[in-house]
Amino acid sequence: MSKVIAIEGGYKLNGTVRISGAKNATVALIPAAVLADGPVEILGVPEISDVEALAILLRELNCDVSIKGDSIRLDPSQMEDIPLVSDAVNKLRASYYFMGALLGKYKRVKIKMPGGCYLGPRPIDLHLKGFKALGANITYDEVEETYLLEADELVGHSIYLDFASVGATINILLAAVKAKGRTIIENAAKEPEIIDVTNLLTKMGAHIRGVGTDTITIDGVEHLHGTFHEIIPDRIEAGTFLIIAAAAGEKVIVQNVIPQHLEALISKLKEMGVQMDVVGDSIIVYGPQKPLKPVHVKTQIYPGFATDLQQPLTTLLTQADGKSSVKETIYIERFLHCEQLNKMGAHIDVDRASSAIYGPTKLHGARVQATDLRCGAALIIAGLIGEGKTEIMNVYHIDRGYDNIDQKLITLGAHITRYEIDA
Ligand code: EPZ
């Protein structure tokens, strides 16, 4: 049996949608919390399957976890240093944050190689480079597919990241906050989710400066205590809804947004001729009144155009009057959504790390595959504007990272159902 999201296209969307907490902050905040000696409460947790997978891992570590609505409370005071080798590790790539967190807490961690969406090669060499620089000895067991990291002690060190990797920046932060002395991360990533994790660690008693710039300085401390934290809104979910509204909306208010986190997307949407008003922490989007203009997008590290938004935007670009393009500089193989969109009537050519999107094309319903999380979002948008019924398979990808996206769209007037089919 396969779970399917089915969409009847052509219905205009109106109303207000409230954005949930940031997935890519949440999946780092939860592992970071285990570094505390006492309870940590985190508010604004999105209802996504990645959180469920992390809760399973925490319980395997004998960490007390309770989830009530959008709040998670962890009490690491009775936690044990247990190898993380269950299948839950493979459910999300971000389980690798337990490498940094448990190395930082116990100076030792055994963990299975992480899973996650296939977006082309996704090495963790920069994470390991950072752990080694701090004094960890790393061995990989080919048979068990597990990493063992051990250090007599962790000593602060300067670490240059060959690529401004989000994951490596966060993971090294987690290992360094209790290391002896000073760690300097050079060419660090600047994503807002890294700032959010640093805010939590600072409230726990960590000494971190320069986050949000390309040089982060961490002075290790002996102890980190419990605290309370509220997660920032999810800029990728917010961006996805801006694009949905631009494609299928009449007047949609996207609430609980930090507009500064979306400057690159907002600029591109304006370049396309999308009408928007930014009002405090809401953005009002008026659906298409005149033909959209084609644009050229190049994905960059933050604050450049987010790679996670090029897939949903591709669907909108199929409606622009002319030739648009997307160039990927982060994940060069992140184009599996194009073949699925072409099945729905789009005209997209993919060549090496770029796509050319010819529009406007009339999209029609089809049975398509969500190949990854953001491909799923792109197909939802195509289903909303396509003629007839679209069935999106492999919805587990979508549920990993979007909090009840179909319910939110139904509230805006979309005709969406979920069911299972034999396939
Ligand atoms: C984070 O992935 C996000 N995931 C991704 O979002 C996002 O696309 C990505 O950052 C870029 O913004 C989470 O935060 C859980 P990277 P991450 O390390 O940390 C190379 C989504 O849809 N690299 O910045 O894995 C890597 O191959 C997901 O929500 C190395 O070479 O991204 C890639 O080309 C998808 N060696 C580039 O850096 C390393 O050790 C960006 O990777 C690490 C990364």
One-letter identity of residue 279: V
- List 138's β-bridge partners, or say none: 149
Among the atoms of ligand 1, which is closest to the Cα of residue 372?
A: 22
| β-bridge partners, 379 | none
Nearest by Cα to 394 from 371, 415, 375, 378: 371
117 is catalytic: yes
Would the CB of 127 count as within 6 Å of ligand 1? yes
- For residues 414 and 15, is the Cβ–Cβ distance under 8 A? no
Residue 309 in contact with ligand 1 by CB distance below 6 A: no
What's the token pair of residue 275?
């009408």
Ligand 1 midpoint to CA 42 (Å): 24
Distance, CA of 229 to CA of 200 (rounded, Å): 6
The tokens describing 173, both together, are 């932060």
What pTM was computed for the model? 0.97
Distance (angstroms) between ligand 1 centre and the Cα of 36 equals 26
Q: In this structure, what token pair is assigned to residue 82?
A: 């247990």
pLDDT in tens, the chain (423 residues): 789 999 999 999 999 999 999 999 999 999 999 999 999 999 999 999 999 999 999 999 999 999 999 999 999 999 999 999 988 888 888 899 999 999 999 999 999 975 555 555 568 999 999 999 999 999 988 888 889 999 999 999 999 999 999 999 999 999 999 999 999 999 999 999 999 999 999 999 999 999 999 999 999 999 999 999 999 999 999 999 999 999 999 999 999 999 999 999 999 999 999 999 999 999 999 988 889 999 999 999 999 999 999 999 999 999 999 999 999 999 999 999 999 999 999 999 999 999 999 999 999 999 999 999 999 999 999 999 999 999 999 999 999 999 999 999 999 999 999 999 887
Kindly give, in sequence order, each residue whose CB lies less than 8 Å from that of residue 351, ignoring residues fewer than 6 positions away: none
Which of 20, 23, 24 for mutating ligand 1's site (highest number of atoms within 8 Å of CB)?
A: 24
Burial class (CB in 10 A: 0-12, 13-18, 19+), 251: middle
